[in-house]
Chain A
Amino acid sequence: MYEVLFALMLIFSVAAVFLLLAAQWDLPVIPFYLLAGIFVGVVIDETQLLDLAQWGVAFLVFLFGVHVDLEFVRSTGRLSVAVSVLQAAVVGGLGFGAGLALGLDAINASYLGITAALSSSLVATSYLDTTAGVRPTYARLAESVHFTEDVLGVLAVLTLSAVVYAATPAWEQFAVAAGIVALALLIRYTVFHRLTARLRGDSEILMLVGISFVVGFIALAEAAALSIVVGAFAAGIAVADDYPHSLELVDTVDDLEDFFSPIFFVTLGALLTLPGLETAGYTLTLLVAILVLNPVLAAALFVRAGFDGRTAVLTALTLDQVSIFSLFIAIEALGAEQIARPVFDAIVLAAVVSMLVATYTGRHAESIAQWLRDRGFARALGESVTSHSSVADDLSDHVIVVDLEYGGRELVERAADSKWGQAHPFLVIEDDPSVLGELESICDNYVYGDVSNDDVWEQARLSDAALVVALTPRPARADAVVALETDIPRLVRVDAIEDAAEFADRGATGVIYPDAIAAERVGDDLAALLAEELSLEEFEARARQRTRE
């Protein structure tokens, strides 16, 4: 037993050193865990850690299940689901074919296909997650694509455990799995709320309940000879992630995941063997599929579906990494002795490389998108800016507003009520398809498209405009407005003092710094309240009044 403690000590110490490096360069943690594993693997016997590592898998999948937002799935529509299924099918097919061509058997070729087709939501969401309310279009789109691919991942795990690892392939396993998920849904909608309502404030018991869910569903899955991934996923579905009922439960399980997932990733890294030529070949194949084929295909599909080029490229750039589910599949197949070692090694290696590359592309997505645009990539994919736009032929001396959200709406409404608003018509540039309907109803002039696209500005008649204002809190869009080569005055919102100064230096006519404005206003209001110039009731009533304006 002390060997295991020693192994854990080594895992966490080495992982901590690697994470400090990762933090230094602001890189994602998973590839560094895997790298740490390669080092640790030299010293320890990783097989004794598999017990603890699978808890990492269980908690990872459980939390994924918890975060599944059924409403969200329904509302984002079929479009992104269709795109990701199509993309996964095409690339998966190609990967499978390549595997066969490289001389693998059907099972190993299918591992290659699955790995090539699916992308990781874990690494992607780590940089997609932003404050609620300021999610750019591409982030929402990417989220639903990743979600679809993760569900495909669960299905792949299920299929493999029912058909490949089973002694006798049994398709009725799918019915069993469906039954387990149905049970989870039943618990979610009938029992769960009553349970958490009674246990609120007692995080220890809530955590126990959460873990019991995981254990119980995994036991069910195992009894049915299904993968623990299926059980953990169902357990997650049973927990409704609606604030604040499950907050404590999810928070505590989150901490457990943080403890166990390094064990999983490091163990995975430790399982790697010295790569040979064969491994290198498979890794290369996977990398071409993941880093090149996936994004290009997805971008093309999104443009075809009517999104602007920038959104399509940015979404596609979140798809260039190996899915976490491919890693689950690899370790399960290894346990079942159903995978060739070089294929296993290739999957893990491809994960390390692609996750690091994905961080780079994620961080420089804007400039990559711009670079591609400059080389006519978007147009080559068939982008058009006129399809969702409405601009009066004689529009001139107008005010161009970037983004309807975050104050753009109020601006347009205020202008409509004012005298000067009559003299200067407004034109809105928007890239979020979900507000297009509203846009049509409240403004006469609008352009659907991307602010980094010169065509969009031409469409918006920038040269005839009087003023450009950008109230968006999304720095990249404000940046694009500042970078316009024009003499038309521009007012942009900034959210950091450094940006304000930089934008001003680069030629923005004025900057709006909402925090400073708010600070001033709140300070004045607060001073009035504290000086007892007006009563608390009056103050409250007046504050409320503003939301009704």
Chain B
Amino acid sequence: MSQIALAADFAIIVVVATIIGLIARQLGQPTIIAYILTGIILGPVVFDVVTEEGLVELMGNLGFAFLLFLLGLKMRFEDIREILPAVTNVAFGQTVLQTALAFAVALALGFGTTEILVISLATVFGATPIIVKILSDKDEITSLPGKIDVGVLIVQDIYLVIVLALFTADELGGAADIAETLGVILVMMSFIGVFSLASSRYILPGLFRRIADNKDIFLIVAIAWAFLFVAIAEGANLDPKVGAFLAGISIAQLPYSKELEDRITPITDFFILVFFATIGLQIDGLSSLLAYWWEAIVASIVLMVGNFWIMFYLIDREGFDVETSFLGSINMVQVSEFSLIVGALAIQQELIGPDILGYLSLMALLTMGVSTYLIAYNHAIYERLEPWFDRFDSDEKTGTELTTYDDHAIAIGYDEITERALPLLEERYGDVVIIDRRTDHIEELEHEGQYDYVFGDFRHTEVRKEANLKGSAFVLSSSVEREVNEALLEEADDGATVFVEAERIGDARALYDRGATYVIMTSHLAAEKLSEYVGLYVTDRDTFDDAVARDKDRVMTQREEAGKRLENHETGPGGEVSIETDGDVDPVSEGDHDD
């Protein structure tokens, strides 16, 4: 007999979600729809084989907490600073107007008072996972409409976290209670928020600088940090997940957040699957799901159209051009995943019954399903409608210029080779971005302040996206990892000039075959040089002595310079202590070979 059986319920959820996920992918639908359907199919609505208890509930909760942590991690104020005022106005207006619209629709459809309140608070438009996923796939996430959407979603998240906190509060009797609870929540949140921002300035930089080089410790400390905030929030009688969100924000402002985002995403994906499935599981039966079927359809249509115009009006008012306003609005016409989260919480608080959750779920499935196609074909739709929308155009409107990298140069790894090439590249291409995953290198770059940099492992998608590899005109890789270089050659634009490094001649040939412009063969060059020296040594001893002495001097000067650089800014242990590397791809590992 085997002793510990893997939890069967969970296993079934994963397998079914995979199958539905594969089908959804064929239809171009996001996985979140597949997960909700998984819950509906496995729960009381269809087969009733899985219950939302024990491990499943635990994993769902973890998923939710990780989702908020991840959302917090994405809140880099730096990213949206340029359009922050505009985005804040849009988000604020949208929240107010859409809540009013949802309230009106719910009222017109004849729901009860509490239900109307829950529905209007829960009906938030703009689902982060869908918008971010599809726009990233289309390479539009850094376009102006994409930036506006992401910015609005980020500001909106703060509102949603407050709503969540409200729904988990114990007593919500009358308006005074709500106001009081809201007050307490805001005070508590500001306290924790201040602590989180303070720590992101004073505690975290030093802590993460020491550990970011070690991939195991980096992840565990970050997770522990999230759990710490969960505990603090719990202690302050807030929803623990709000803590996870604030923990995320505090790490987001560090240079290491992109790398961490990439590490946390799979864990979140894993648990969030269970979470969305549990929403499906909570619907009591087919009758609950379809209890308000026509109301859901009507509300979906009215709200989708209504929200498009709300967004269009708000973005347009901020002075963006018509196309930007159109695209930014059409991307946002689906119910947020938070509707379901708020709905699930409201069920736990016994504010609504499963029928209302069925209504919310149906609306989410409908709007998400339709909007996926709307986002996918947003440009085509705009082209059709452009003549009509031109009436909103005026001369003062412009697309605000965004600083994104384009036709720039990327250097992977900061070492002698890239250091020598960087000034040349800057002169030619203007923008130069360095990708490196060693904290001491990043600090050096930060200290010098001359070039932009991205901290992280080149293998990670987020890191490559941040540096906009696809849009770069020149890439110089000083990594000798063939895998890294092959991935680089595959993703880089065909027209881009790509310099890569190889340790062996066989690798060099393979890299040329894959389209490298130039392969730096360090060992080969060293052999060439050495061979020259040996030749000199046996033929012309004096010249040999001179050449060797000159080299030695140069190395000594270099060392002194490096030493000075280190002294100039307190590196802490980063420079000297090399934390155990576990051999995973390290773009600059050329220099640290073990033997």
A is bound by B: yes
Contact: B555 with A244, CB < 8 Å? no
Once A1-B57, A205-B25 are accepted as A-B contacts, the answer to whether A256 and B266 lie under 8 Å apart by CB is yes
B480 at interface by CB-CB < 8 Å: yes
A16, B215: Cα distance in complex, Å: 13
CB contact between A411 and one of B531, B554, B584, B586 (< 8 Å): that residue = B531
Identify 21 residue pairs between A and B in the complex whose beta-carbon atoms are under 8 Å apart, listed by A's number: A16-B225, A26-B580, A126-B582, A134-B503, A167-B1, A218-B6, A218-B11, A228-B6, A252-B265, A255-B263, A256-B270, A332-B3, A335-B4, A423-B538, A467-B538, A469-B530, A473-B503, A495-B591, A496-B592, A539-B517, A540-B518
Contact: B480 with A133, CB < 8 Å? yes
A198, B579: Cα distance in complex, Å: 38
What is the minimal beta-carbon distance from A548 to any residue of chain B, in angstroms?
A: 9
Once A131-B481, A165-B3, A208-B18 are accepted as A-B contacts, the answer to whether A519 and B419 lie under 8 Å apart by CB is yes
Once A222-B2, A410-B527 are accepted as A-B contacts, the answer to whether A522 and B534 lie under 8 Å apart by CB is no
| A6 / chain B contacts, CB cutoff of 8 Å | 231
Once A9-B228, A399-B534 are accepted as A-B contacts, the answer to whether A476 and B595 lie under 8 Å apart by CB is yes
Residue-by-residue, is B1-34 near A (CB-CB < 8 Å gives 1, otherwise 0)? 1111111000100110110011001000001000
* Segment touching B, from A106-114, A296-304, A504-512: A504-512
A123, B537: Cα distance in complex, Å: 46
Contact: A54 with B6, CB < 8 Å? yes
Contact: A15 with B7, CB < 8 Å? no
Chain A: interface size category:
35 or more
B40 at interface by CB-CB < 8 Å: no
Once A222-B5, A407-B523 are accepted as A-B contacts, the answer to whether A467 and B537 lie under 8 Å apart by CB is yes
Contact: B419 with A208, CB < 8 Å? no
Contact: A519 with B527, CB < 8 Å? no
B490 at interface by CB-CB < 8 Å: yes
| A255 / chain B contacts, CB cutoff of 8 Å | 219, 263-267
Question: Which residues B125-183 have CB closer than 8 A to chain A?
Answer: 137
CB contact between B267 and one of A244, A259, A529 (< 8 Å): that residue = A259
| B6 / chain A contacts, CB cutoff of 8 Å | 51, 54-55, 58, 215, 218-219, 222, 228
A515, B413: Cα distance in complex, Å: 12
What is the minimal beta-carbon distance from B413 to any residue of chain A, in angstroms?
A: 11
B61 at interface by CB-CB < 8 Å: yes
Contact: B591 with A212, CB < 8 Å? no
| B591 / chain A contacts, CB cutoff of 8 Å | 495-496, 515
B507 at interface by CB-CB < 8 Å: yes
Once A131-B481, A199-B25 are accepted as A-B contacts, the answer to whether A207 and B270 lie under 8 Å apart by CB is yes
What is the minimal beta-carbon distance from B225 to any residue of chain A, in angstroms?
A: 8
Contact: A19 with B220, CB < 8 Å? yes
A65 at interface by CB-CB < 8 Å: no
| A469 / chain B contacts, CB cutoff of 8 Å | 530, 534
| A243 / chain B contacts, CB cutoff of 8 Å | 483, 486
What is the minimal beta-carbon distance from A265 to any residue of chain B, in angstroms?
A: 11
Contact: B595 with A477, CB < 8 Å? yes
Residue-by-residue, is B458-495 near A (CB-CB < 8 Å gives 1, otherwise 0)? 01110000000000000010001111001100100000
Binding site for A on B (CB under 8 A): 1-7, 11, 14-15, 17-18, 21-22, 25, 31, 54-55, 57-58, 61-62, 137, 210-211, 214-217, 219-221, 223-225, 227-228, 230-231, 240, 263-267, 269-270, 273, 415-417, 419-421, 424-425, 427-428, 459-461, 476, 480-483, 486-487, 490, 497, 499, 501, 503-505, 507-509, 512, 517-531, 533-535, 537-539, 547-548, 551-552, 554-556, 558-559, 562, 577-584, 586, 589-595
What is the minimal beta-carbon distance from A321 to any residue of chain B, in angstroms?
A: 15
CB contact between B522 and one of A125, A500, A518, A539 (< 8 Å): that residue = A518
A119, B583: Cα distance in complex, Å: 19
Most B-side CB within 10 Å, residue of A15, A125, A219, A259: A259
Binding site for B on A (CB under 8 A): 1, 4-6, 8-9, 12-13, 15-16, 19-20, 22-24, 26-29, 50-52, 54-55, 58, 125-134, 136, 161, 165-167, 199, 201-205, 207-209, 211-212, 215-216, 218-219, 221-222, 225-228, 243-244, 247, 251-253, 255-256, 258-259, 262, 332, 335-336, 366, 399, 405-411, 414-415, 418, 420, 423-424, 466-467, 469, 471, 473-477, 489, 491, 493, 495-498, 500-501, 504, 509-523, 525-527, 529-530, 536, 539-540, 543-544, 546-547
| A247 / chain B contacts, CB cutoff of 8 Å | 459, 483, 487
| A58 / chain B contacts, CB cutoff of 8 Å | 6
CB contact between A415 and one of B216, B487, B531 (< 8 Å): that residue = B531
Contact: B15 with A216, CB < 8 Å? yes
